[in-house]
Structure 1
Amino acid sequence: MNNSADKMDFDVLIIGAGLVGASLVCALEKVVTKQGLRLAMVETHDLNQSRDIPPSFDARASALSWGTCCIYEQLGLWPGLAGQAEAITEVHVSDKGSFGLSRLQASDEGVPALGYVVKNYVLGDVLLNRLRDFQKQGTVTVFSPDEVERLSPVPGGMKVQLKHSEVSVSLVVLADGGRSGLMDQLGIGLEQRDYHQHGVIANIALDRAHNGMAWERFAGKGPMALLPLTGDNHFEHRMGLVWTVPDEEIDSIYNLADDDFLALLQDRFGYRAGRFLAVGKRDRYPLTMRIAKEQVRPGLVILGNAAHAIHPVAGQGYNLSIRDTMALAGNISNSLESKVSVGDLGRLQEYWQQQLSDQSLTSRFCDGLVHLFSRTDSASVLFRNLGLVTLDYCHPVKSKFTRKAMGL
């Protein structure tokens, strides 16, 4: 390390102990133990305080691609998740009322699952427990509850003004989702695209088993996704709904009584997945694509949702962030091995260039799906249905498409 870096209190400070920030800590464990990385984290919430567990029926879940599951296996996290993860063995993609459909199957790729659906609180608890273990072992210094009030560039890194203290670090990793205002403070802008849509998410009970099937159904003015979930004490057959709704319809749909909501959902989706019996707590959020105009600066990396938030149509956002996380961990390790500051701009630009293709391809892929499958004119309907049929019968193309969705 150079002389200026030697004066730093820490090599790396991660801001935010959410799913991405905690995953980065896990990815850096060997860098700490084998290469002497000085690692710290700041989190506004008290990490030692017990968290409320949502009712089982209403618990939100995320789809982890096969590639992300392999990463968590590599980090020693998967054993804590596997018993509560529901496998996606097939994805059924179709356009309601039209002839086009395609099936993506894990068996075609020689893997047991295309991915797994895990409740968010389960994933959070596994990561949090590992983080607490690292804290006890001295692997990571945790400032919690605490808050970053100001980031100031200094020679060799950043000065970080916390609510209760001040530290200097070679590299700050901003992984707080961008909600803290630190990106505004640093003058880092966002490229934004408003889709004029909202996502409605809820858990749905069905009258039949999902058998590991996930559904991507294009109907009306936006896509609907159903993800297989584990059963609970009340309903054996459950799926997680992500419904893309145009802004002009969101209030009327979101505010429907449960029976009316289910009836409309059944009418829009159809009966391919079965009959919808019950719906849990509903949430809504506006859908936009946001990409940070700068993801690296000297002594700074933007990671996770702070770096890029993409449309949930293909469930790729979190999986993309985990791939970024592993690439950054590798970059930090290589910098230490080369005796270069982990905050060196040239090294960080290598990380960003490495991930740029993945980020661009994934965001364009999701953006293209939104536009293609939200159109209702006859030419667009014919084009996408021909595309689905072609995809289903052209096995090399389908395999490439499937493996990209698997994060491989």
Structure 2
Amino acid sequence: MKQHYDIVIVGGGMVGASLACALLPASEKLDLNIAVIEAFPLPEANDLVYQPSYDSRATALAYGARTIYELMGIWDTLRQHLSPIEHIHVSDRGRFGATRLHAEDEHVAALGYVVENHWLGRVLLDRLQQPDAGRVDFICPAEVTDIVPGAEQMGLSVKLDEQVHDLTAELVVMADGGRSELRERMGIGYTQEAYGQHAVIANISPDRPHEGIAYERFTDSGPMALLPLEDEGGRHRCGLVWTVPDEMADEILGLDDAEFIERVHERFGYRAGCFVHVGERHAYPLKLSIADEQVRAGLAVLGNAAHALHPIAGQGYNLALRGVVALADQIISARKQGISVGDLGVLQTFYEQQRYDQQRTIGLSDRVMKLFSNNNPLFAFGRDLGLQMLDVCPPAKTVFARGAMGLDIPAPDLK
């Protein structure tokens, strides 16, 4: 542990580790010293072993994430345990609206990918432990107990091995999640809207291969998503995200396996086959949450600490990842110009560039959720007509698909 770093990243999860990996290629050339402070122990170096688990949680990556991870130098490793999304089927339960997207129609290898969180995290951390990652110190298990802004740098108190160490940094990046106590301690408020819904998540097995199809099924009680996963233990496997009203969450969690599968079929149908096995079920409340401030002099907020949105379109992590590389690009540019990486102008430029993407992505997820949760017959007819028109209009479908894949945003340089 050094006494001073150019950048301290608070949180070594998928967002924080991705930022460190994004900065890694330029860190040696630009003399950037980086610390990642994480509450949990770091896995053993060179222990990059895929450990399959039927109940592993997963994240949907937009196709554009592939370019980002290629720039970080981890794509070839990451792709060893990815499930490509080759087709997307969108439908409205009990109504005529439906749209289908196909990777071959958009001339891409996949519309997106599904990765198990533990594998993505392990690949990111393994990259930060390679011999060429000497500019990154991973400090763990440790906790940032205080951040004190200064005239030219930030002061941090870090608790490690029951001792408190004082560090300084030009820039502190808070990537410690949606329940960030540090964010609240810094006096950063947030705007929040509860949706009155819970997401019930589980892995579920159909009786036939998923064939790379992801489903988005809108129902009168909330949307359902089914994502393709790698087979495990001889079973086909899909990731289920089932949105239910708050008052139904406990009832759904209390069902036994057979009852749960029966209820899923009742809402989802049989287009993916007959479900024959289901794993552990978990539920969490759904809220739209946006930090009132995402940058200050010497401070940036990323990931769920900055914004959390409805999972309806699977865009939460992809939005965070685009924020990661946008911030990395600004840091690299500032360093090349001899400007402090914590300069408020630099960070405001980053935020202004990201604000449009955030407003568009969050707004779209919010509007789609509310539109498809409205049972007014007129709204229902209009949205189904829209789905059908999209399905028969290739140019409109391509525009929609490119936006969902993150291909309408320029790729970063990171050099």
Deviations 1:351-404 (A, max 9, x none): 000010001000001001110111222112111100101111222221111111
> Which residue of the partner structure matches residue 372 of structure 2?
373
> Which residue of the partner structure matches residue 167 of structure 1?
167
CA shift in 2, pair 1:55/1:283, >3 Å: farther
> Which residue of the partner structure matches residue 25 of structure 2?
30
> Which residue of the partner structure matches residue 316 of structure 1?
315
Q: Is the 8 A contact 1:220 1:268 kept in 2?
A: no
> Which residue of the partner structure matches residue 7 of structure 2?
12
Please list, as runs of the form range in 1=range in 2, the aligned pairs for 1:88-99 lying within 5 A after superposition.
Answer: 88-99=85-96
Q: Is the 8 A contact 2:127 2:133 kept in 1?
A: no
2-structure distance, mates of 1:267, 1:182 = 43
Give unpaired runs (5+ residues) of structure 1: 1-6
2-structure distance, mates of 1:174, 1:26 = 16
> Which residue of the partner structure matches residue 143 of structure 1?
139
> Which residue of the partner structure matches residue 102 of structure 1?
99
2-structure distance, mates of 1:142, 1:121 = 18
1-structure distance, mates of 2:286, 2:27 = 38
Q: Does 1:177 align with 2:173?
A: no
Q: SS state of the match for residue 223, structure 2?
A: strand
Q: Is the 8 A contact 2:52 2:232 kept in 1?
A: no
CA shift in 2, pair 1:243/1:51, >3 Å: farther
Which amino acid letter does the alignment assign opposite residue 302 of structure 2? L
Q: SS state of the match for residue 147, structure 1?
A: strand
CA shift in 2, pair 1:55/1:113, >3 Å: closer
Q: Does 1:81 align with 2:64?
A: no
Q: Is the 8 A contact 1:8 1:170 kept in 2?
A: no
Normalised to the residue count of structure 2, the TM-score between the two structures is 0.93
Root-mean-square deviation (Å): 1.7
> Which residue of the partner structure matches residue 238 of structure 1?
237
Which amino acid letter does the alignment assign opposite residue 252 of structure 2? I
Please list, as runs of the form range in 1=range in 2, the aligned pairs for 1:150-161 lying within 5 A after superposition.
Answer: 150-161=146-157
Deviation at 1:54, TM superposition (A): 7.2
Q: Does 1:57 align with 2:40?
A: no
> Which residue of the partner structure matches residue 193 of structure 1?
193
Deviation at 1:52, TM superposition (A): 11
Which amino acid letter does the alignment assign opposite residue 67 of structure 2? C
> Which residue of the partner structure matches residue 362 of structure 1?
361
> Which residue of the partner structure matches residue 302 of structure 2?
303
Which amino acid letter does the alignment assign opposite residue 10 of structure 2? I
> Which residue of the partner structure matches residue 386 of structure 1?
385
Deviations 1:284-322 (A, max 9, x none): 100001111100000000001101111000100001111
Q: SS state of the match for residue 92, structure 1?
A: strand
2-structure distance, mates of 1:39, 1:268 = 48
Q: SS state of the match for residue 28, structure 1?
A: helix
Q: Is the 8 A contact 1:102 1:388 kept in 2?
A: yes
Deviations 1:72-114 (A, max 9, x none): 1221111111121111011000011111100111112110100
Deviation at 1:274, TM superposition (A): 1.1
2-structure distance, mates of 1:180, 1:25 = 19
Normalised to the residue count of structure 1, the TM-score between the two structures is 0.95
Q: Is the 8 A contact 1:303 1:325 kept in 2?
A: yes
Q: Does 1:71 align with 2:68?
A: yes
Q: SS state of the match for residue 117, structure 1?
A: strand
2-structure distance, mates of 1:161, 1:27 = 25
1-structure distance, mates of 2:377, 2:180 = 45
1-structure distance, mates of 2:114, 2:43 = 27
Q: Is the 8 A contact 1:57 1:232 kept in 2?
A: yes
Q: SS state of the match for residue 321, structure 1?
A: helix
Deviations 1:146-184 (A, max 9, x none): 111100000112100111311111000000114341111
The number of equivalent residue pairs is 400
2-structure distance, mates of 1:172, 1:110 = 40
Deviation at 1:10, TM superposition (A): 1.2
2-structure distance, mates of 1:325, 1:184 = 21
Q: Is the 8 A contact 1:221 1:375 kept in 2?
A: no
CA shift in 2, pair 1:52/1:30, >3 Å: closer
Which amino acid letter does the alignment assign opposite residue 30 of structure 1? P
* Percent identical: 49
Q: Is the 8 A contact 1:147 1:162 kept in 2?
A: yes
Give unpaired runs (5+ residues) of structure 2: 408-415
Q: Is the 8 A contact 2:391 2:397 kept in 1?
A: yes
CA shift in 2, pair 1:157/1:348, >3 Å: same
2-structure distance, mates of 1:39, 1:57 = 36
Which amino acid letter does the alignment assign opposite residue 85 of structure 1? L
Q: Is the 8 A contact 2:22 2:71 kept in 1?
A: no
